[in-house]
Chains A and B, each alone.
Chain A
């Protein structure tokens, strides 16, 4: 006969006290043992790190491809202090539009280093195929309660590329009120970036010099090249202030509003971008380096709503951004999370983006006209629309860790803001669309 094993009856009372207080939302004053149990349980949980790793692939058809690996670690300490460390490594390869216009003939461009050249075929958008860069980025953020209803946060940011260094600091203060249903926050951040581009920084509107080789004597060409450069490095600073307000509307709905003001000063050009200088028939006679203002003042307003239906969660946001370059943009972003089972969900994603051109944007320069003070043919500050369509699938594995997959299609459609295409330029596509696929795998453990 099997002996009936008598279980030790210890802790039943304490366990029930904890369960009852979890149910009723009360803190038992009488049962000291129970409090100790709760504490040790919490301490056990606190001693571990939570990690999230992600691999992202981004690929534009015929253009840039990027691979990105992210490792994010978070640790919560006993007094609700949170340390978050994040390491990101990106590898970028491929070609990117250099700003010059497509032409009815083959075009030859000098590589940014000056050592060598590349060609663009008839009627094709000129792409500089020399892009290869590795970026290592590190962020550390510390968050802790400061006083009742006040939470403070501070962080540092370091990002290093072959020709780029970015250092940043930030601080944030949040105040909860209205029984923690409302939160007001204010944040400040400051970034200092230094560029040291391959081949130095070109002079504004300098003609793209001819390439020099390394075998034959090229001292003249090298001298020409050097004459088009003003310095080896330059920098820019960015100061941001952001005000946020979050409001819990009810059990199912939360809203957030942000306003941000951002001031950027320093070198804001892209040293690799040029403009075609065309004659009255639209044929390029020269390529000149772009020139942008040395300051930019950006502001944005942002509103977000999350609504939890019986099962699904919808997340919709809108951002309006405007700046003193006269570039303004509207972004609508929406996600719908649909649980498939207790363990898994799918999340369709749709994003629409629309921007107007910066005041000095122009797809090319005309020889006969006087040179403007500023000009850039970078399509990223031209008029455009962009769409993202994606889907994410997430699942909780049997060991409790989370795994998710994201696949997205991203399309940028630069549009004509009314620049008259001269002669041959009317025959080519000055506003070529860019299609990209984004694939991401995330694993949390």
Chain B
């Protein structure tokens, strides 16, 4: 189903906000200016870019590059420069995490359904799925990608964050005004709202129904959140988080329910948050040692 693709403009205290829907999330562009027409034009530009990336990389869209690769059955698929760069980034994350972060790990969904039940898959079932994983089995270069049959990739771990950064680039090309782009909680701002006045951002931690949105101040830079408190399995009093280790196919133990990280760019923040979650119990110390600003919820 294609969600409605339109943008809505509202007036805020000191500027404008453009709302739209993309990547299954509410999205907004905040611009500190008084010219509504300019704000709307910018919002449309940003929304167009985000929709473009959604169409190109969503695994839910049958015509996306992602789907074409997933249906390639081992045949070489020609790719463009943008896709190459994204794959290259995913490759770096795979290397840096020593295989714990892997864009081919989506097939684990076949055995893990985090619906709050006690539906823990068998060791054999996980093993079977793991056979169809492993980024090292995928070969790619600037021209093409070759992925073995029965494997899948998805850009779920980096796509939205990438869209935030791309949107920011588009916004900066269009205007020097302060702009904040927020795609369902992953966001970036090009400069303070006013001189030394930060943006106030409400972070809705997905799944924490009882919790009030956390409000953070951001002068400039990006924020990304990883984790979802609602998605877990519970069996014999053991809580299985939905963060899966791509190397073992099993959930990371003792991981925080959610981590929000600050970084110069959204894609960095996103991957740092994900990598931190994968450290399990050491998630917070991992980020502290890196001197990275974060908020964690356990």
Query: Footprint of B on A, CB under 8 Å?
Result: 7, 9, 12-13, 15-17, 19-20, 22-26, 28, 30-31, 251, 309-311, 339, 341-342
Complex CA–CA separation, A20 to B86 (angstroms): 9
Complex Cα spacing A341 to B141, Å: 11
Of the candidates A12, A26, A339, the one having the most CB atoms from chain B within 10 angstroms of its own CB is: A12
Q: Which of B2-10, B193-201, B246-254, B284-292 is found at the contact surface with chain A?
A: B284-292
B62 adjacent to chain A (CB < 8 Å): no
Which of B40-48, B105-113, B175-183, B262-270 lies at the interface? B262-270
- On whether the beta carbons of A22 and B76 are closer than 8 Å, the reply is no
Residues from chain B with a CB closer than 8 A to the CB of A16 are 92-93, 96, 263, 268, 271-272
Among the listed stretches B12-20, B30-38, B162-170, B204-212, which one makes contact with chain A, having 4 or more residues with CB under 8 Å of it? B162-170
Contacts of B96 in A (CB 8 A): 12, 15-16
> A12-B290, A13-B263, A22-B88 known; 16 other A-B pairs, CB under 8 Å?
A12-B275, A13-B268, A13-B291, A16-B96, A19-B92, A19-B93, A20-B89, A20-B265, A23-B86, A23-B267, A24-B165, A24-B166, A24-B265, A251-B80, A310-B78, A311-B144
Using known A-B contacts A12-B290, A17-B264, A17-B268, determine if residue A342 contacts B144 with beta carbons closer than 8 Å.
yes
Interface residues of B (CB under 8 A from A): 76, 78, 80-81, 85-86, 88-89, 92-93, 96, 98, 139-141, 143-144, 146, 162, 165-166, 169, 263-265, 267-268, 271-272, 275, 286, 289-292
Contact of A339 with B144 in the complex, beta carbons under 8 Å: yes
Give Cα A251 to B85, complex, Å.
15
B80, A339: Cβ atoms closer than 8 Å:
no
CB-defined A-B contacts under 8 Å, sample of 16: A9-B289, A12-B290, A13-B263, A13-B292, A16-B96, A16-B263, A17-B264, A20-B267, A20-B268, A23-B85, A24-B169, A28-B265, A339-B144, A341-B146, A342-B76, A342-B141
In the complex, which of the residues B86, B139, B169 contacts A342, with contact meaning CB atoms closer than 8 Å?
B139
Q: Per DSSP, are chain A's interface residues mostly helix, strand or loop, or mixed?
A: loop
Residues of chain B contacted by A15 (CB below 8 angstroms)? 92, 96
> What distance in Å separates the Cβ of A3 from its nearest Cβ neighbour in chain B?
14
Are A19 and B89 in contact (CB-based, < 8 A)?
yes
Check A23–B169 contact: CB distance below 8 A: no
**Chain B residue nearest in CB terms to A340:** B76
**In the bound complex, CA of A163 to CA of B1 (Å):** 80
The 5 closest A-B pairs by CB, nearest first: A310-B78, A19-B92, A23-B89, A16-B268, A20-B265
In the bound assembly, the distance between CA atoms of A342 and B147 in angstroms comes to 12
Asked if A30 and B264 sit within 8 Å, CB to CB, the answer is yes
A341-B75 Cα distance, complex, nearest whole Å = 10
Distance in angstroms between the alpha carbons of A247 and B267 in the assembled complex = 34
In the assembled complex, the CB of B43 is this many whole angstroms from the nearest CB of chain A, namely: 21
Which of the residues B78, B81, B140 comes within 8 Å of A311, measured between beta carbons? B78
CB proximity of B271 to chain A, nearest CB, Å: 6
Residue of A nearest to B279 (CB): A9
A22 and B264 form a contact (CB under 8 A): no
B81 touches A251 (CB 8 A): yes
Taking CB atoms, residues of chain B closer than 8 Å to A311 are 76, 78, 143-144
Complex partner residue of A339 from B143, B165, B265, CB under 8 angstroms: B143
> What is the CA–CA distance of A77 and B85 in the complex, to the nearest angstrom?
26
Cβ contacts under 8 Å, B140 to chain A: 342
Partner of B286, one of A9, A17, A30, A342: A9
B-chain residues with CB within 8 Å of residue A310 when the two chains form the complex: 78
Shortest distance from the beta carbon of A334 to any chain B beta carbon, whole Å: 20
Chain A residues closer than 8 Å to B267, beta-carbon distance: 20, 23-24
Residues of A close to B98: CB separation below 8 A: 7
